[in-house]
């Protein structure tokens, strides 16, 4: 992935900056320990990474480019958190050694990569045996709203069209199979979201 489908307009960033570990990564928190090293792939403006950094020993946050990382760095700079480092990285080929992290996390990332299974395998590679991989993503095919709003229907049509050429549209429906192919197990797929917590053997 070299471009981000949603872009980085202020409206997008405002939505992303609202996210914290508690309101957007609650599935991960029971596994977090103070001594942990955590990888946050596709960190966006970094609010989840900053929140996690307050709970663990070290957080490494990645993004697809320096411009995107500048958004993350700016968030961290306002918080006083100093156990957070940043790296430009492709989720398909992470620049980290095997067994580097206790937890690898990807929030709303897999829907944007061209090969989600390969990305999951990379998360597994850099996670220690007995560690945890957690991912959360939206299944747009399962999303619904009421009352129906034509503008939102049109947005969804355009979004599906934009990503169809890059990503198999049904991969989120096959989340369990995707994790199995990457060598893991799925703890839960809930409602319109896939919440994948894989304990690495």
Q: Is the confidence at residue 23, as pLDDT, over 50?
A: yes
Arithmetic mean of pLDDT, 24-37: 94
SS3 22: helix
Domains identified in the chain, total number = 1
Q: Which domain covers residue 123, as residue numbers?
A: 10-199
Examine residue 96 and state whether it is found in any structural domain, yes or no: yes
Q: What is the mean pLDDT of the chain?
A: 81
- In percent, the amount of the chain with pLDDT more than 90 equals 50
Question: Residue 90 sits in a domain of what CATH number?
Answer: 3.40.50.150
Examine residue 166 and state whether it is found in any structural domain, yes or no: yes
Examine residue 5 and state whether it is found in any structural domain, yes or no: no
Examine residue 3 and state whether it is found in any structural domain, yes or no: no
Q: Is the confidence at residue 52, as pLDDT, over 90?
A: yes
Q: Is the confidence at residue 191, as pLDDT, over 50?
A: no
Q: How far apart are CA 198 and CA 189, in angstroms?
A: 12
Q: Quick check: 42 and 65 in contact, CB under 8 A?
A: no
Using a 10 angstrom Cβ sphere, with 0-12 exposed, 13-18 middle and 19 or more buried, the burial of residue 80 is exposed
pLDDT tens track for 31-43: 999 999 999 999 9
Examine residue 1 and state whether it is found in any structural domain, yes or no: no
Q: Quick check: 168 and 112 in contact, CB under 8 A?
A: no
pLDDT tens track for 146-168: 899 999 999 888 877 776 655 55
């Amino acid at each position: 992935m070299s471009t981000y489908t949603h872009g980085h307009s202020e409206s997008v960033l405002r939505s992303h900056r609202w996210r914290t570990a508690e309101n957007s990564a609650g599935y991960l928190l029971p596994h977090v320990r103070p001594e942990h090293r955590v990888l946050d792939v596709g960190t966006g403006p970094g609010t989840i990474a900053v929140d996690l950094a307050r709970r663990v020993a070290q957080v490494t946050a990645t993004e697809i480019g320096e411009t995107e990382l500048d958004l993350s760095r700016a968030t961290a700079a306002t918080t006083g958190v100093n156990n957070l480092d940043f790296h430009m990285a492709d989720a398909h080929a992470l620049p980290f050694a095997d067994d580097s992290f206790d937890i690898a996390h990807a929030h709303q990332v897999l829907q944007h990569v061209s090969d989600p299974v390969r990305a999951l395998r990379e998360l597994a590679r850099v996670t220690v045996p007995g560690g945890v991989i957690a991912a959360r993503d939206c299944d747009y095919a399962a999303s619904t709203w009421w009352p129906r709003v034509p503008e939102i229907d049109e947005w969804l049509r355009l979004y599906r069209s934009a990503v169809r050429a890059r990503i198999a549209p049904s991969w989120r429906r096959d989340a369990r199979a995707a994790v199995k192919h990457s060598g893991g197990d799925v703890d839960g797929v809930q409602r319109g979201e896939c919440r994948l917590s894989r304990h690495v053997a």
